[in-house]
C-alpha cells in the first residue's frame, strides 16, 4: 500500500535526521547586554577593576569625549585631542545593574582631582561618566549628587557626566594590560600611588 502524503513527509523527516521536520530547536539567543563608559585615569586600571565585577562580559580600553577622529595613544597623551582615556564596559543587566557599576566606579577613582588621576595629570586623565541613554544619565547624576551631599571626604566632586560619543578602541597592546603585562602593570599602579590614595579617600570601602 502506498503511504499517504502526510506519512511520506514524516518518513522523509525521520530519514533526513536533524535539520528537517522534527529537528532540535535552535539554541536560545544570548542574553542581551548593555554598554557603559567610564573614564577614571589610566585605562589599564579601569579595565582591571571592572573585569572583577560579576556580570561584566567584556571591557575595552579606548578614547572618547574629544575632537580628533581615530586618535593614537601618542596624540591623546599630548592632551591636544580633548579625549579622555576611557573604558567601554559590556555587561549583562540581568546579573549586574548600572547602579552597581556606578558604585564600583566611584570607589576606584579620586572624584575630587581635576584633570588628572593620582600621578597622571592632564584632561586626558579626567574622571567622567559617559551615559548611553536617559536612564543612565539620571542614575549617574543622582549618584554624583548623593556623593556630593554625603561628603565622605574633603573636596568638591569634579567628575563629569556627559553623553557618550564616538568611542575609539586603543591600540592592541593596551587591551587587558593587567593580564598581559602584570609585572609592568603592578609597578605602574604601585608607583602611581593609586591604591594608597583610594584607601585615604574611601577607607575600607575602597575596592
Considering the domain boundaries, does residue 181 fall inside one?
A: yes
- Is 12 among the domain residues? no
pLDDT beyond 60 at 30: no
Range of the domain at 101: 34-205
What's the average model confidence in pLDDT over 140-167? 95
Q: What total of structural domains would you count in the chain?
A: 1
Three-state secondary-structure class, residue 18: coil
DSSP string, 65-101: SSS-SS--HHHHHTT-S--EEEEEEEE-TTTS-HHHH
pLDDT at position 185 is: 96
Residue 163 has pLDDT above 60, yes or no: yes
Give the mean pLDDT of 36-46: 97
CATH for 122: 3.30.1060.10
Backbone angles phi, psi at 37, to 5 degrees: -130, 130
- Assess whether 119 carries a catalytic annotation: no
Tell whether 1 is covered by a domain.
no
The percent helix, strand, coil of the chain (3-state, each to 5) is 40, 20, 40
Measured distance CA(88)–CA(66) in Å, rounded: 15
Residue 11 in domain: no
pTM listed for this prediction: 0.83
Average pLDDT, the chain: 87
**41 lies in a domain?**
yes
pLDDT of amino acid 206: 66
Going by pLDDT thresholds of 50, 70 and 90, the confidence category of residue 25 is very low
Instruction: Judge whether 17 lies within some domain.
Output: no
Q: How confident is the model at residue 115, as a pLDDT?
A: 95
- What is the predicted pLDDT for the residue at 31? 57
Q: What is the pLDDT of residues 90-112, one digit of tens each?
A: 999 999 999 999 999 999 999 99
In a domain, 56, yes or no: yes
In a domain, 182, yes or no: yes
Amino acid at each position: 500500500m502506498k503511504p499517504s502524503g502526510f506519512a511520506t513527509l514524516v518518513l522523509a523527516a525521520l530519514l533526513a535526521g536533524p535539520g528537517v521536520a522534527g529537528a532540535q530547536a535552535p539554541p536560545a539567543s544570548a542574553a542581551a547586554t548593555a554598554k557603559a563608559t567610564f573614564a577614571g585615569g589610566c585605562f589599564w586600571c579601569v579595565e582591571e577593576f571592572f573585569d572583577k565585577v560579576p556580570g561584566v562580559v567584556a571591557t575595552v580600553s579606548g578614547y572618547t569625549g574629544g575632537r580628533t577622529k581615530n586618535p593614537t595613544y601618542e596624540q591623546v597623551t599630548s592632551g591636544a585631542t580633548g579625549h579622555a582615556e576611557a573604558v567601554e564596559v559590556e555587561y549583562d543587566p540581568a546579573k549586574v545593574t548600572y547602579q552597581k557599576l556606578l558604585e564600583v566606579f566611584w570607589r576606584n577613582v579620586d572624584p575630587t582631582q581635576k584633570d588628572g588621576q593620582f600621578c597622571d595629570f592632564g584632561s586626558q586623565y579626567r574622571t567622567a561618566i559617559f551615559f548611553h541613554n536617559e536612564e543612565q544619565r539620571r542614575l549617574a547624576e543622582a549618584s554624583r549628587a548623593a556623593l556630593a551631599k554625603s561628603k565622605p571626604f574633603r573636596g568638591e566632586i569634579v567628575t563629569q557626566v556627559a553623553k557618550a560619543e564616538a568611542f575609539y578602541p586603543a591600540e592592541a597592546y593596551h587591551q587587558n594590560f593587567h593580564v598581559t603585562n602584570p609585572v609592568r602593570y603592578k609597578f605602574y599602579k604601585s608607583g602611581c600611588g593609586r591604591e594608597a590614595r583610594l584607601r585615604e579617600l574611601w577607607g575600607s570601602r575602597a575596592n
